[in-house]
Structure 1
């Protein structure tokens, strides 16, 4: 006599027969990869050492204040919309995204300001207000930016660059677009006013690059802002991460927090699973690492002989700068400091000299430039009623220099310097309103995110550390291992890490093509 199998048991049995994919790390790149793999039919397990999903895009709560720990803006919503669509869902159903207007305000020590907006006429007016003679240069810069966007983001950034022939084919275009020229050098070609040169060249700092040395391909960010706008996710980027984790769960996947991977298990030259710090071994048909590429090769694959990403090569590589971030709350200030918007950039007296201290000399300078985030302008849920939440970010040297900063001794001293700059330039009387406070230094990034040298954005995106020269999305060291996230192609930033998962989706075969171990 035949009996009908319970639907729940049938689903459980079908799931057990599907090939298993492990994703190391629940950062945005890892969660996006899990979603892509789930859509391709894999049984997915995400393993993450932190207490909640999101990695650097997660948040902390202190005394009713939500501190968004990492990225604060969304510049290309389309990459999220495409990701959700691949899973048969709508991004806007799960995330409330709000356009910013203005995007941000840049301030200089002489009191001058530049307000960035999406509207082209408004931007022309801002350029002309600061430097009437640079209006024509702005028009040319926009066209330069659009061309580099089409090539660098829509083409190279959304496909794998792991074959050397792929690099050879694009070299003529790189040459034509003067990829050898730095972002700052290109801005200097188009603008005579030093303030505008800064305003149109600083963007690589948001992905860990030195504007005076990073390839001019990254001026494409100006087109991203103009074409797609700058957005804020209500609830912070943490809300996006949680929505992604929910999609993974709805697909039948599992996100395990507090599960730290100690080693990638390799058998017969192929990734076969992972070993956790407690000794547990989890078998897999596919392994995806969203851990920093340097940590993946140097630590998680420490017992594997490597051909390209060896310890000495990683030590010779150039890493992005470190970050000092002060998260703080203020009491009874909603409506106070009316000219302090959602995003403000406070320039110090030096631009090039400060960048050289940070990236080349490894020196903690006396002066600083700050990015100030005030989410409560848009999202009151980030603080108790009537209060405000902020963070102030200062680029600083990473820990890999010969005489690194001892942040255990310097953190409070430096925080006080940051407070003094804020009180002088943006938030007068700040000290009288301070409540909750939290500080992240490069040592925090090293210990919390296992970031080599405590760098904020993994490998610096210089020309010889980009595209084919960057760690590939499919490992050249062992079969069955894939890499995503800031340290891989196409690079750091939300669009970059989410696009790395899109590239992954084109490299990994569909689940029905894989023989289950």
Structure 2
């Protein structure tokens, strides 16, 4: 059996890149390690252990520091009592409500992972297992799963800052608190109860460790080999062609490009039609990434930082042009030297800013130059107004990655950073499957197939796809 893994857009592989500039190191891809057990499972499946390859540390003292548009701030603390005291200072009674919220969110997390995220939906017949959820639903209000996220949070917190605090993670699933179902409180639950972790030396360590573990199992890993064509016929796939003219025969091809971007490689009418149909789906935000090497330390920042606008609903409208950017937009900042001193020299800082903007499906253009400049100004203004200081003169090196480059480097449809969005009509059985329905031997992994985006879910996607291949080809695995 000849198997080819076509890699361009893995959230573990393709996007886990490190950029080194003037002794500063940036993670230009993932920066939050959640669900560490899913990483351990991936290494265990390769006969290895996560800890043999990567030193993973829990981010301390808080999962995030959140800066609000009115210059107040709050840390997402793991300590429940300390977190309750912080919330109580924002809103009377919010401390007790936090306990109720956390219990609801944790129940959603456990149900979501066990019943949806960790299981494959191969077709409508799989919905027959959903009645088994009925006993679980006695633990959670159905509206806390399917109701509008911000609306459901208002049952716990009246202060809009607190609702924003527990819903900004909706960005990662391509939605907003005003469009996302409340079940995505599970993202806050895992951060607050399981913790946020970081691989020392950067996410590239995870990629490299998985590569070494795979090679130890006999896998041949080739890099720098661009695939230009997936060959297929009525009997299924037969292999892939590389840009250098080489042909690699294969009975199975697993593509981890962003799923819609894999179909143009088929060079068939079906491939064109499938690409057009998938490209018309709803996609997540694009991001402009500013990677800065500073000659000073921004001491007010923790490892993970979120800046939230006081224009709560307007700030979630993805800016298509500079005039649509909020004065103080929502943004995320990664400052890894707080946990990993090797990220920047002493007295300096390595800062990665993610500014969400409209993707190319929404802008209708690939020219982001004006938005890049306006976004930099808005980010620096936000930092100064939040008390971080004027960082502009301290930026000694800058590397900007805009949506067209994300698309080109990692085959991301529309330059959407998190792949296909996760609305209710694009979840579970409604999400594109990990097996092509017409081309035998063509499979997919990654953010835009099941179960969804984020590194842990992409690892789960890889496992589900591998299990499906083994089942389809009646291959048994010993030991």
Establish whether TM, by shorter chain, passes 0.5.
yes
Q: In structure 2, what is the Cα distance between the partners aligned to 1:402 and 1:510?
A: 42
Match of 2:23 in 1: 64
1:61-460 → structure 2 map (5 Å cutoff) = 61-101=20-60, 102-167=62-127, 169-170=129-130, 173=133, 177-178=142-143, 179-297=145-263, 299-303=264-268, 305=270, 310-331=274-295, 333=296, 336-358=297-319, 364-367=324-327, 368-401=329-362, 403-404=364-365, 406-460=367-421
Counterpart contact for 1:340–1:426, Cα < 8 Å:
no
Q: In structure 1, what is the Cα distance between the partners aligned to 2:432 and 2:445?
A: 9
Cα separation, partners in 2 of 1:406 and 1:303, compared to 1, 3 Å: same
Distance apart, 1:363 and its partner CA: 7.6
Cα separation, partners in 2 of 1:203 and 1:337, compared to 1, 3 Å: same
SS in 2 for 1:192: coil
Q: In structure 2, what is the Cα distance between the partners aligned to 1:132 and 1:312?
A: 51
Q: In structure 1, what is the Cα distance between the partners aligned to 2:325 and 2:464?
A: 39
Q: In structure 1, what is the Cα distance between the partners aligned to 2:192 and 2:63?
A: 10
Match of 1:16 in 2: none
1:31-50 → structure 2 map (5 Å cutoff) = none
Runs of 4+ aligned structure 1 residues displaced above 6 Å come to: none
Match of 1:493 in 2: 454
Cα separation, partners in 2 of 1:306 and 1:207, compared to 1, 3 Å: same
Q: Which runs of 5+ in 1 are unaligned?
A: 1-18, 32-53
Q: Which runs of 5+ in 2 are unaligned?
A: none
Distance apart, 1:510 and its partner CA: 7.4
Q: In structure 2, what is the Cα distance between the partners aligned to 1:304 and 1:83?
A: 36
Match of 1:507 in 2: 468
Distance apart, 1:483 and its partner CA: 1.1
Counterpart contact for 1:183–1:214, Cα < 8 Å:
yes
Distance apart, 1:300 and its partner CA: 2.1
Deviations 1:375-417 (A, max 9, x none): 1111111123432100111110001125447213442343233
Cα separation, partners in 2 of 1:129 and 1:172, compared to 1, 3 Å: farther
**Alignment RMSD (CA, Å):** 2.6
SS in 2 for 1:436: strand
Counterpart contact for 1:363–1:397, Cα < 8 Å:
no
Q: In structure 1, what is the Cα distance between the partners aligned to 2:50 and 2:106?
A: 26
Distance apart, 1:262 and its partner CA: 1.7
Q: In structure 1, what is the Cα distance between the partners aligned to 2:323 and 2:460?
A: 34
Q: In structure 2, what is the Cα distance between the partners aligned to 1:467 and 1:200?
A: 24
Q: Is residue 2:442 matched to residue 1:481? A: yes
Number of residue pairs matched by the alignment: 468
State TM-score, norm by structure 1.
0.84
Deviations 1:309-348 (A, max 9, x none): 73442243111111011000011x2xx4322211111122
Counterpart contact for 1:364–1:397, Cα < 8 Å:
no
Distance apart, 1:419 and its partner CA: 2.3
